[in-house]
Structure 1
């Protein structure tokens, strides 16, 4: 607790000092802030990076360039940022766990490459299938999978991504054998689901909602504790007859480890200001996200808890992760 208070006080002090210098390169600087999204365009991370990046450009008075660097379940983009200059000018927008390699590392080494800046948002998943799948409910899909073990497929944006892990948890809990097909991002995954090449996904609301409403996909359930106001006819997993299953994806921002505390504090404050902006919040909520924000220490705490929880599930055999 003392460490958390100390981190919070340091972040606040650093933030004010950093703002006094005008954010890293100075207000109105021509030096751009590079926002790195480790997945292709079209996914939830990309939506967040562009929505908040646009607002950061206004707040910082400097160019913001969004760059997509997909590959290896986000590892390519994460390592690019980890190896960037430690000046706060390169910012990673990623899932809560920026690299799947974190799951195989000791907790003490988690902060060796990337430093947390700010939690961005969270979102439940829609459990969606191609309309050609002969299952109208989640219970019917489970029965179908049990009758055809090792035949049906589920997609994910990449091995050990949050969507993959959520589906593995579900698969383990209900006792079905379905095959994992990893993609290089949400966009390609959704394209193949729409085309019928795979049968099921756990997708963010941002990725799946428009296709559900158009009838091109069927939503079997939502993984939140309660139904979504925007999709009132879609039951929760619990309402579909499967108790004690709630899952959500969270997103955060990171910079290279060793970046000065002043730079991290300034970026944290700017991101929190962006998340508090009415237009930005409205855009995120419209896409199915719940804005979060907070201090770097809050993101660090959530990151370490997630890595520990998933690592324990992997060791116990309750979820399976292919070698990355």
Structure 2
């Protein structure tokens, strides 16, 4: 990863800060925002919300195109091969932009060299939830119960190497527990078995878990980010309950094919920043648990991705997960 740093800085260098008057207008045709996951999930919902909002800023429509498969790699590879004209963008997440480079033997693109960063959209914390039948109400009680019953507790994930899997790996490492991982083919099946009590617990995204927590079908024990979430301010973070340094949030951001002109990147960054600053959109995203950062430049987002690659690489290696 240290060897990748100069490469990423070189990629980011194509998007220097430009004065507003230097922004280049986009061609008069729709911009395509590729979501590398199926329709209906949290990533798709966020991308469509943002695409609907940004039309005013760009002066042209933005269409969302789902290209799912291989943990996000198919959609990411499609954008990496697209013309570098700013007309085809990737709504990337921690998977294709940080985790998959270590998790998969081949991904068909390079997270650093294949893309030019545009803007960080935000981060969605994972949340530790348990089935209500489990007799624990906070993280310390869970740790005590797990140690008293080693290997008896299982946690569901959306698949090997997913953030919901790696969150459990980090938990076991910091807490000294032996939670058993049960991978599923997607968040939906994992959630169904958790709700049914076939598995004891899970580390799922806040947007998916929130309705079930509020309805009492799941019990929330902690937010899996460094600080509490505004969407559930009364719920302590896992870190403040004794696991210092615990932070497993999923990030979302926009990237373009490498080689996209700096002026085009500046135009896109400014448009997305203005859209993300709209009170209606900020309120909607906040209600979904998405934590919006201050406006980020392409350079800042590039540095952020590189840091995330290092963090997730460590967790993937600890998990032992490897996919073809």
TM-score bracket, normalised by the shorter chain, equals 0.7 to 0.9
Residue 268 of structure 1: how far off its partner (Å): 1.3
The residue number in structure 1 matching 2:312 is 310
Residue 188 of structure 1: how far off its partner (Å): 4.1
- Give the aligned length: 312
Q: Does 1:39 align with 2:37?
A: yes
The residue number in structure 2 matching 1:11 is 16
The residue number in structure 1 matching 2:75 is 77
Flag the 1:7–1:86 CA change in 2: closer, same or farther, 3 A.
closer
The residue number in structure 1 matching 2:102 is 103
What residue ranges of structure 2 are gaps of 5+ in the alignment?
A: 1-7
| More off after superposition, 65-74 vs 136-145 | 136-145
Query: Residues 40-66 of structure 1: CA distance to partner in whole angstroms, max 9, x if unpaired?
Result: 334332232112111112322322222
Is the 2:153–2:200 Cα contact (8 Å) retained in structure 1?
yes
Flag the 1:14–1:323 CA change in 2: closer, same or farther, 3 A.
farther
Query: Residues 187-220 of structure 1: CA distance to partner in whole angstroms, max 9, x if unpaired?
Result: 4433443333433222222221111001111101
Residue 8 of structure 1: how far off its partner (Å): 7.2
Structure-to-structure mapping, 1:83-122, within 5 angstroms: 83-96=81-94, 98-99=96-97, 100-103=99-102, 110-122=111-123
Q: Which of 30, 54, 57 lines up with 1:56 in the alignment? A: 54
Flag the 1:243–1:188 CA change in 2: closer, same or farther, 3 A.
same
Flag the 1:60–1:199 CA change in 2: closer, same or farther, 3 A.
same
**CA distance in structure 2 between the aligned counterparts of 1:15 and 1:160, rounded to whole angstroms:** 41
TM-score, normalising length from structure 2? 0.82
Structure-to-structure mapping, 1:1-324, within 5 angstroms: 10-13=15-18, 16-17=21-22, 19-20=23-24, 22-23=25-26, 25=27, 29=28, 31-96=29-94, 98-99=96-97, 100-103=99-102, 110-292=111-293, 293-315=295-317, 317=318, 319-324=319-324
Give the 3-state SS of the residue equivalent to 1:290 in structure 2: coil
Flag the 1:258–1:159 CA change in 2: closer, same or farther, 3 A.
farther
Residue 184 of structure 1: how far off its partner (Å): 4.8
What residue ranges of structure 1 are gaps of 5+ in the alignment?
A: none
Is the 2:118–2:301 Cα contact (8 Å) retained in structure 1?
yes
**CA distance in structure 2 between the aligned counterparts of 1:303 and 1:190, rounded to whole angstroms:** 28
**CA distance in structure 2 between the aligned counterparts of 1:14 and 1:188, rounded to whole angstroms:** 49
TM-score, normalising length from structure 1? 0.82
The RMSD of aligned alpha carbons is 3.1
